[in-house]
């Protein structure tokens, strides 16, 4: 227990152990070595952007240093160190905590504690806290000298409050009937406290937070706020309930009077539409027969004039060479009325986006950062400047002797950028794509159970997501609405488009269990965020749509759900096809349902690797060809991907992206299909795919490969000629028919 004589934490030289010395150094540098003993308990929050805020607390004879995160309004521990305070104010490490899969993981990890302690010193938390304390002390002195605003007792209490709360009270004293907003010192936010904070949160549907007060009768102070740039959007709703007084950083106060009540005309009550959950829709999907209707589209509502939907097929499919009439999809009226939100919905903030991208798999981030996996250690990633070990959400760079936690920290460390730049980089990357390989779907493989956390459907965000899909990506509204009604596409709270993924029932094309969701960011400009819902199974579930009836005759594999939808639109303009056509998204280089695709080829159907017209798409197509001989390559004639082709039908051939060695690549695909038709053994076919991947990477086609390819072409031609001769010999002559 702490004695009454203990007035401060023992200094660095008197502590034992590297962790205790680092923490003692931090506390003495900040000036908190004595402050932590003030009162029965102590609490101080240190804001130090771009890092996660650090909270220093003392409860009894235990000292806590904690990084807290807030997500969806809930606060949880990100990382924490717990020390005991022994007799003489010496520190003893008792426990560490980190977030892990399934919740908080606690143990006494001295290695992690050393990293934590070293980071808070190197990252400048001590200097920030010291500056805050000195500023607070100076403000307290100035406030104590000005006793005109409130009575002596009130002023004494106010001196113990944070500076922003003091400013709020000063303005509130002048405008007691107004809702008071004060601008923060960094000019980024407007905030308010006490009852005004509760009113603000209720009116604008914001999250109510709180601050700790050192005043004995205040406890935790309710607080709420919003970014300065959102003032124009929020001011009118606030003026409908109260007068609003706004104090800017320079002390200027602007008062906005409350709007007068207007005559309200009550409309007939409109029934509230309850959006069907993705889970309910998925259950209904599995209960209904698959492909009951001829088409996913209502033809009479789909288009009023033609659009060029021509696609190039590299395997000499004549039906893909036909010219197609032009059609421009129109946007029909929605089938059901959309009820607008009562209050304007704010765009997700930088913190919202940070909370969303922070948990991205570090191995995926490492691959996208250009790091290479160590051939001897599957947990180690390296390049010329870094050797980084990754363990779940934690990483350690052995060359730099620094580490951290989460995707944002990793990007900041490797790219040497600030917090905002790291968040923008993560939200702008297609992180659905990992290294260039294709894992196969093996139902018998034992897998560790993972908890699936599907994003909650937010109908208020659906109109924005629908607008993105229809207006920005040029998908037909009738198709988007149909998939939304079936629960295959919806919007989440972050305004992501959520594409629901299902497994296959016994390797048949019937939707099985819900396995996850693919996420596509839609808010803001140039948002390229791709991801998966937590717990999604990349290789045991897919987003797909189908049209037609009967057996499956064609399957198109695309890189994204939007590409699958776009190809379905382009393919619709062609002549009717027998059987069922499937358009399936593999989510970049995710898994492919190989076992379900084999029967399609065995029964005379066709499978197309319809990936992007770039090197990555070509390499992925050849990976699948190695596992599924007989697959064919399909690319858009112009543009990088199918949505690019759909959204830009008039793009010229000169501006379209081309693949290096395009002619050779066409020949290689023809060779692979020829060899399959000739019945060449699997190792022979596999060798063709290896040669093709080397050519795709820029290697020349060897003379030996050219000879083998030419021989196979000649063999097939000879077979065809022999077959033709036999058929001609068995047919009656024209003269015989005339007689």
Tokens coding 434:
């990992």
Q: Which residues does residue 582 pair with via DSSP β-bridges, in sequence order?
A: 546, 555
On whether both 55 and 113 belong to a single domain, the answer is: yes
Angle 321-651-616 from CA coordinates, rounded to 5°? 75
CB within 8 Å of 238: residues ≥ 6 apart:
179, 200, 203, 204, 244
Q: What's the predicted TM-score (pTM) here? A: 0.47
Cα separation values, 403 from 41, 76, 356, 387, 652, Å: 31, 21, 21, 11, 48
**CATH number where 213 lies:** 3.40.1170.10
On whether both 115 and 16 belong to a single domain, the answer is: yes
Kind of pairing between the strands at 380-382 and 327-329? unpaired
535 part of a folded domain:
no
Q: How confident is the model at residue 147 (pLDDT cuts 50, 70, 90)?
A: very low
On whether both 127 and 204 belong to a single domain, the answer is: no
Residue-number span of the structural domain to which 38 is assigned: 12-133
**Which of the two residues, 554 and 638, has the higher pLDDT score?**
554
265 part of a folded domain:
no
On whether both 87 and 24 belong to a single domain, the answer is: yes
Q: Which residue has the tokens 């409309």?
A: 267
On whether both 172 and 101 belong to a single domain, the answer is: no
Percent of the chain past pLDDT 90, that is, above it, reads 26
On whether both 104 and 215 belong to a single domain, the answer is: no
DSSP letter (8 states) at residue 14: G
Cα separation values, 286 from 129, 289, 510, Å: 57, 8, 7
Q: Which residue has the tokens 């006793």?
A: 147
The pLDDT tens digits for 296-311 are 443 332 332 233 333 4
Select from 256, 273, 294 the last residue of a domain. 256
Q: Which residue has the tokens 């839609």?
A: 522
Secondary structure tally for the chain: helices H, strands E: 24, 29
On whether both 208 and 128 belong to a single domain, the answer is: no
**Which helix (H) or strand (E) element contains residue 225?**
strand 220-227
Q: How confident is the model at residue 385 (pLDDT cuts 50, 70, 90)?
A: confident
Asked if 203 contacts 238 with a C-beta cutoff of 8 angstroms, the reply is: yes
The pLDDT tens digits for 241-283 are 899 999 998 888 999 988 764 433 333 333 333 444 444 444 4
**Which of the two residues, 208 and 373, has the higher pLDDT score?**
373
The pLDDT tens digits for 550-598 are 899 999 999 999 999 999 998 876 656 778 999 999 886 667 899 999 9
CB within 8 Å of 580: residues ≥ 6 apart:
291, 509, 546, 547, 548, 549, 550, 551, 552, 553, 554
405 part of a folded domain:
yes
Integer Cα distance of 477 and 481 in angstroms: 6
Using only the alpha carbons of the chain, give its radius of gyration.
Answer: 32
- Could you give phi then psi for residue 388, rounded to 5 degrees? -115, 125
The pLDDT tens digits for 404-437 are 888 898 988 888 888 888 888 887 655 544 444 3
23 part of a folded domain:
yes
Tokens coding 571:
């393919």
482 part of a folded domain:
no
Mean pLDDT of the chain: 77
Kind of pairing between the strands at 74-86 and 90-100? antiparallel
CB within 8 Å of 689: residues ≥ 6 apart:
622, 623, 625, 626, 672
Would the pLDDT of 637 be above 80? yes
């Amino acid at each position: 227990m702490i004695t009454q004589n203990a007035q401060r934490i023992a200094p660095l030289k008197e502590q034992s152990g590297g962790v205790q010395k680092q923490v003692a150094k931090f506390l003495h540098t900040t000036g908190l070595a004595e402050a932590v003993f003030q009162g029965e308990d102590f609490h101080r929050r240190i804001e130090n952007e771009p890092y996660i805020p650090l909270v220093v607390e003392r409860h009894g004879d235990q000292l806590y240093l904690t990084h807290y995160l807030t997500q969806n309004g809930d606060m949880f521990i990100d990382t924490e160190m717990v020390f005991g305070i022994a007799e003489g104010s010496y520190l003893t490490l008792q426990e560490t905590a980190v977030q892990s899969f399934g919740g908080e993981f606690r143990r006494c990890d001295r290695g992690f504690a050393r990293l934590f302690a070293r980071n808070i010193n190197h990252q400048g938390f001590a200097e920030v806290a010291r500056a805050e304390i000195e500023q607070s002390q100076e403000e307290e002195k100035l406030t104590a000298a000005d006793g005109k605003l409130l009575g002596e007792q009130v002023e004494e209490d106010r001196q113990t409050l944070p500076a922003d709360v003091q400013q709020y009270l000063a303005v509130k004293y002048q405008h007691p009937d107004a809702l008071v907003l004060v601008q923060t010192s960094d000019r980024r936010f407007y905030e308010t406290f006490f009852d005004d904070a509760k009113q603000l949160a209720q009116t604008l549907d914001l999250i109510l937070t709180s601050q700790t007060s050192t005043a004995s009768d205040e406890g935790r102070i309710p607080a709420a706020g919003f970014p300065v740039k959102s003032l124009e959007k929020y001011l009118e709703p606030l003026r409908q309930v109260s007068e609003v007084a706004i104090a800017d950083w320079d002390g200027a106060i602007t008062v906005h009077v409350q709007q007068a009540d207007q005559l309200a005309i009550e409309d007939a009550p409109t029934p509230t539409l309850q959006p069907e959950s993705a889970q309910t829709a998925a259950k209904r999907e599995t209960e209904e027969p698959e492909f009951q209707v001829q088409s996913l589209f209502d033809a009479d509502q789909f288009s009023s004039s033609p659009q060029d939907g021509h696609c190039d097929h590299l395997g000499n499919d004549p039906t893909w060479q036909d010219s197609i009439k032009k059609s421009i999809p129109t946007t029909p009226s929605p089938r059901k009325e959309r009820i607008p939100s009562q209050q304007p919905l704010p765009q997700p903030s930088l913190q919202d986006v940070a909370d969303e991208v922070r948990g991205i798999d570090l191995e995926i981030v490492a691959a996208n950062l250009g790091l290479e996996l160590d051939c001897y250690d599957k947990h180690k990633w390296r390049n010329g400047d870094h050797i980084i070990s990754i363990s779940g959400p934690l990483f350690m760079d052995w060359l730099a002797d620094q580490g951290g936690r989460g995707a944002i920290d990793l990007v900041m460390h490797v790219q040497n950028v600030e917090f905002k730049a790291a968040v923008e980089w993560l939200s702008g990357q297609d992180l659905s794509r990992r290294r260039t390989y294709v894992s196969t779907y093996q139902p018998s493989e034992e897998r560790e159970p993972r908890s699936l956390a599907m994003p909650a459907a937010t109908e208020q965000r659906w109109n924005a997501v629908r607008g993105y899909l229809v207006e920005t990506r040029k998908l037909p509204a009738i198709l988007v609405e149909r998939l939304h009604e079936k629960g295959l596409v919806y919007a989440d709270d972050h305004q992501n488009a959520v594409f629901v993924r299902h497994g296959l029932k016994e390797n048949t094309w019937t939707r099985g269990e819900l396995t996850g969701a693919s996420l596509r960011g839609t808010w803001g400009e140039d948002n390229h965020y791709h991801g998966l819902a937590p717990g999604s199974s990349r290789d045991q579930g897919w987003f797909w749509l189908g049209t037609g009836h009967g057996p499956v005759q064609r399957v198109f594999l695309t890189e994204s759900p939007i590409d699958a939808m776009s190809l379905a639109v382009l393919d619709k303009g062609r002549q009717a096809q027998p059987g069922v056509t499937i358009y399936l998204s593999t989510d970049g280089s995710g898994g492919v349902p190989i076992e379900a695709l084999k029967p399609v080829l065995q029964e005379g159907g066709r499978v197309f690797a319809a990936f992007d017209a770039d090197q990555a798409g070509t390499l992925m197509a050849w990976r699948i060809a190695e596992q599924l001989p007989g697959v064919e390559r399909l690319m858009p004639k112009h543009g990088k991907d199918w949505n690019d082709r759909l959204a830009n039908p008039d793009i010229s051939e000169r501006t379209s992206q081309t693949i290096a060695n395009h002619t050779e690549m066409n020949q290689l695909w023809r060779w692979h299909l020829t060899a399959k038709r000739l019945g060449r053994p699997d190792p022979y076919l596999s060798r063709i795919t290896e040669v093709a991947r080397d050519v795709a990477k820029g290697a020349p086609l060897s003379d030996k490969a050219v000879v083998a390819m030419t021989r196979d072409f000649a063999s097939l031609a000879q077979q065809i000629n022999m077959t033709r001769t036999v058929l001609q010999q068995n047919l009656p002559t024209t003269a015989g028919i005339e007689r």
